[in-house]
Amino acid sequence: MKALVTANFDDANLNRLRDELGMEVDYRPIEERSKRLSSSELEDLLEGVDVFVVGYEGVSAELMNAAEDLQLIACARGGPDANVDIAAATEHGIPVLYAPGRNAVSVADFTFGLILAVVRNIARSHHLLHTGTYTGEPVADAADSGERDDVTWGIANGSPYVELSGPELQGKTLGIVGLGAIGRNVAQRADGFKMELLGFDPFVDAEEMTEHGIEKSELDDLCERSDIVTVHCPVTDATRGLIGEAEFDLLSQDAYFVNTARGAIVDQDALIEALQNDELAGAALDVYDQEPLPDDHPLLELPNVVTTPHLAGAADEVVDRHSAILTDDIAAVLAGREPDHVANEAALAGLTVDNDG
């Protein structure tokens, strides 16, 4: 049996594919390439391949038509429909395995990093120091008395202590839009900061939210009551443009907005206008409606915006996690067992995997 692996995969699970499952593995991780493989390149590589472990390449109906030997797709993402045509796979009788929650811890950690960075001006103060603001000749002990050194940077008007002060998180209300694995992990971290929690997710009932210490709320109510709003839902027809001018109008002038989900969920122009008009205290963004951001993008000119280049899911452990999830499920399918994570269960019916090649 042959496998093509274009996702980043850890050594332990590559060895499991080869040794435990007896596969001939062609490993071409995206981290060792400058871009995704094209459809024509994939057609050539998939010749004679039974199992395709894909990361970010597109897997279209046309590609499946060309890949005559393909029996199983394993997508190293939480939402395989982002790059795999699930309907076409089902029509071809090809199960699509995936890795839900693979980066939930990573994104939740990063989200709180962004929250702290923007609310407490951590990123802004770092930038100001590195560009020459608040630097200069060291001064002697400002208090000039006492038995230990006191503040020398200054705490008077114009000092960083005054200009870059920000609110504590304790007692503030965090509104979480989307209560999947990431949103729930964010809620756990917020509980450690003793924050009040509101949640908006039509697919999660009030009882389940209460179990996680979250009050179920409608989106309008969440925006009106939250000190910080953070987005953690997938892009669907229902969520595309979910947060726009009306929602930003409901947010307090002292509120912050955070997005580590997808840029398409937010009307970015409306967000920029709210920030430029001082209708929000600040924003922290890891995703945008254009990536990479153009050099002259207005978000890069706003001092109260923290920007990062789509890094929230990039923790080292994410590769280990999705490698284990997918390998476990591949092993289950080859053994005739039902996998834990399959996007199209209908394709499992009548599946007969030839594991002799």
| Domain extent at residue 207 | 104-120+166-307
Please tell me the total count of domains within the chain.
Answer: 2
Tokens linked to 239: 């969520």
Q: Is residue 135 part of a domain?
A: no
pLDDT at 123: 97
The 10s digit of each residue's pLDDT in 34-45 is 999 999 999 999
Answer yes or no: 341 catalytic.
no
Instruction: Identify whether residues 111 and 249 lie together within a single domain.
Output: yes
Kind plus residue range of the DSSP H or E element containing 209: helix 206-211
Residue 189 has φ and ψ, to the nearest 5°, of -70, -40
Say if residue 258 is in the same domain as residue 338.
no
Q: Residue 310 catalytic?
A: yes
For residue 125, being part of any structural domain is answered with no
pLDDT score, position 275: 98
- The string of DSSP codes covering 286-349 is S--SSSSPPTT-GGGG-TTEEE-SS-TT--HHHHHHHHHHHHHHHHHHHTTPPPS-BS-GGGGT
140-154: pLDDT as tens digits: 776 777 777 777 788
Active site residue 47: no
User: In terms of domains, do 112 and 235 share one?
Assistant: yes
In a domain, 128, yes or no: no
pTM tops 0.75: yes
Q: Which residue out of 16, 262, 322, 341 is catalytically annotated?
A: 262
Is the predicted pLDDT of residue 357 greater than 60, yes or no? no
How confident is residue 349, by pLDDT bands cut at 50, 70 and 90? confident
What integer pLDDT is reported at residue 153 of this predicted model?
Answer: 85
- The pLDDT value recorded for residue 138 is 84
Q: For the chain, what percent of residues have pLDDT higher than 70?
A: 98
Residues 183 and 277 placed together within one structural domain of the fold: yes
For the residues of 91-115, what is the DSSP string, one character each? HTT--EE--TTTTHHHHHHHHHHHH
Q: Which two tokens stand for residue 161?
A: 């202590």
At 152 the pLDDT is: 77
Examine the domain organization and report whether 178 and 239 are in the same domain. yes
Give residue 47's pLDDT: 97
Q: What is the pLDDT of residue 356?
A: 55
Whether the per-residue pLDDT at 81 is higher than 60: the answer is yes
Q: Which residue is catalytic, options 28, 36, 189, 310?
A: 310
**Strand runs (DSSP E) across 193-262, as ranges?**
196-200, 215-216, 228-231, 256-259
